[in-house]
Amino acid sequence: MADYKELWKSLDIDLEKHDELCEVLPEFYGDIYMTQKNRPEGMNYYNFVVSEIHGFRIKELNEFRGKGGKVFGGFCVFVPDEVTLAAGGVGIGLCGGSDFWVPDGEKVLPRNMCPLIKASVGAKIGGTCPYFQSADMLVGETTCDGKKKAWEILGEYTPIHVMDLPQMKREKDIENFKDEINIFREKVESITGNKVTAENLKENIKLVNKKRKVLQRLYNARKVQNLPISGKDALLISQIAFYDDIERFIEKTNELCDELEARIEKNISVFDEDTPRILITGTPMAIPNWKMHHLIETSGGAVVCEETCTGTKYFERFVDEDNDDLDSQLKALSERYMGINCACFSPNEGRIKDIIRLYKEYNADGVVYNSLPFCHTYAVEYKKVKDALDKEGIPVMMIESDYSMQDAGQIKTRLEAFFEMLNMNKELAL
């Protein structure tokens, strides 16, 4: 990575502490990613993005801000990027996916809460994440209790706008969320100084849909028997989608998909044909949380799909592009976003249907239900999901785990036993 010290200094980064983070990441990435065999050539772009994770993109954002542009940092897939872009702003995803930030988070939050929240708060108050430092405004949401209370604390350190997310999906809830998107629009307009017009909103609805389409194209390549890409690599691409320049991301991911489709034609696979295919469902995996995919793919399995916010929840379903007035566009945005089946909704039958549908679409052999500790919504929802999967005869195992690798050995043992059972199921079915 080039020398970005001056840039980081200008962003008020704690340089000494930040150096510690920069020291561990390349080795961590190397061990997890560069040890994979037969990766597609197109992954070089994403390797580059990670190697420059606190450099190149931060410099771009800094240049953008230097010209008067505003950056909005979000924590959830309910924040509508279309609106931010329509006001000439840039939205970036900020969820903390590293253990590194947890101790700073624990200085102001209880220890017994979700590590994603602790890491998100810790990254800001410790001054070690240049993305947090590049955001002119943070955007929180009232999804789970931990998050909505954490925003009150985060608000003492930096400006934050909180969107009120309804917890049910009735018509009036969709109307309410439409109002919330409208309030967000006003907020974004006041920060950027630019108006969101029906014209530029329409253009950006199309642009964000284009990003969703390319991610769907990537995921389609994982439905085939001979997998042209690992689950780990697909996860990395989804994670990068949250903060990369949108046009470049679409272009690079389309290029990669060309390569993957050519691989499919030539039957080039990164796994043996009989490797158990796993659908992962559960809490989001923010960069650099690659733990569960790494454990699965080094224990004899292959991840074929993620029913998570760093997976299908992020890109499935498009916003209707055919509206020409602001009011109908806001309604269309609300309808699309309220279609996301986060466990914070009650009831949340849609998620169960999604899991069963995706299991079939991706020809999975089993489901790993992954939850971060102290995430009550996802942990409680496990019972309903398991009951439904049992009825369908779909094997499922629950793994609750945080970001540390202390439990890696124990999880691998459980996964190996699960895969053995899946292999036996396949043999019996023959």
Task: Please give the residue ranges that form the binding site for ligand SF4 (CB under 6 A).
Answer: 76-78, 114, 116-117, 143-144, 146-147, 283-284, 309, 340, 342, 344, 372, 375, 377-378
Specify the residue, 42 or 97, whose C-beta has the smaller distance to ligand SF4: 97
Specify the residue, 13 or 305, whose C-beta has the smaller distance to ligand SF4: 305
- Kindly state the smallest distance separating residue 271's Cβ from ligand SF4, in Å: 28
- Kindly state the smallest distance separating residue 119's Cβ from ligand SF4, in Å: 10
Specify the residue, 1 or 380, whose C-beta has the smaller distance to ligand SF4: 380
Specify the residue, 319 or 344, whose C-beta has the smaller distance to ligand SF4: 344
Q: Confirm if 92 and 74 have CB atoms less than 8 A apart.
A: yes
Specify the residue, 8 or 72, whose C-beta has the smaller distance to ligand SF4: 72
- Kindly state the smallest distance separating residue 399's Cβ from ligand SF4, in Å: 14
- The beta strands (E) that lie in 244-313 are given as 277-282, 302-307
Q: Confirm if 243 and 131 have CB atoms less than 8 A apart.
A: yes
- Kindly state the smallest distance separating residue 40's Cβ from ligand SF4, in Å: 28
Q: Confirm if 85 and 91 have CB atoms less than 8 A apart.
A: yes
Specify the residue, 70 or 147, whose C-beta has the smaller distance to ligand SF4: 147
Give CA 145 to chain center in angstroms. Answer: 20
- Kindly state the smallest distance separating residue 314's Cβ from ligand SF4, in Å: 8
- Kindly state the smallest distance separating residue 166's Cβ from ligand SF4, in Å: 13
Specify the residue, 77 or 250, whose C-beta has the smaller distance to ligand SF4: 77
Q: Confirm if 167 and 345 have CB atoms less than 8 A apart.
A: yes
Specify the residue, 125 or 340, whose C-beta has the smaller distance to ligand SF4: 340
Beta bridge partners of 306: 280
- Kindly state the smallest distance separating residue 139's Cβ from ligand SF4, in Å: 12
- Kindly state the smallest distance separating residue 151's Cβ from ligand SF4, in Å: 11
- Kindly state the smallest distance separating residue 97's Cβ from ligand SF4, in Å: 11
**Cis peptide preceding 228, ω within 30 of 0:** no
CA–CA separation, 247 vs 135, rounded Å? 20
Length of the chain, please? 430
CA–CA separation, 258 vs 60, rounded Å? 27
CA–CA separation, 2 vs 205, rounded Å? 35
What one-letter code names the amino acid at 329?
Q
CA neighbor of 234 nearest in space, from 299, 312, 298: 312
Specify the residue, 33 or 78, whose C-beta has the smaller distance to ligand SF4: 78
- Kindly state the smallest distance separating residue 254's Cβ from ligand SF4, in Å: 26
Query: 161-169: long-range contacts (C-beta < 8 A, 24 or more apart)?
Result: 161/137, 161/187, 163/78, 163/79, 163/139, 165/78, 165/141, 165/344, 166/338, 167/344, 167/345, 167/346, 168/345, 168/346, 169/338, 169/345, 169/350
The answer for residues whose C-beta is within 8 angstroms of residue 343's C-beta and 6 or more apart is 351, 375, 377, 378, 380, 381
- Nearest-5° Cα angle at 399, 428 to 31: 95
Specify the residue, 4 or 72, whose C-beta has the smaller distance to ligand SF4: 72
The DSSP secondary-structure symbol of 323 reads: -
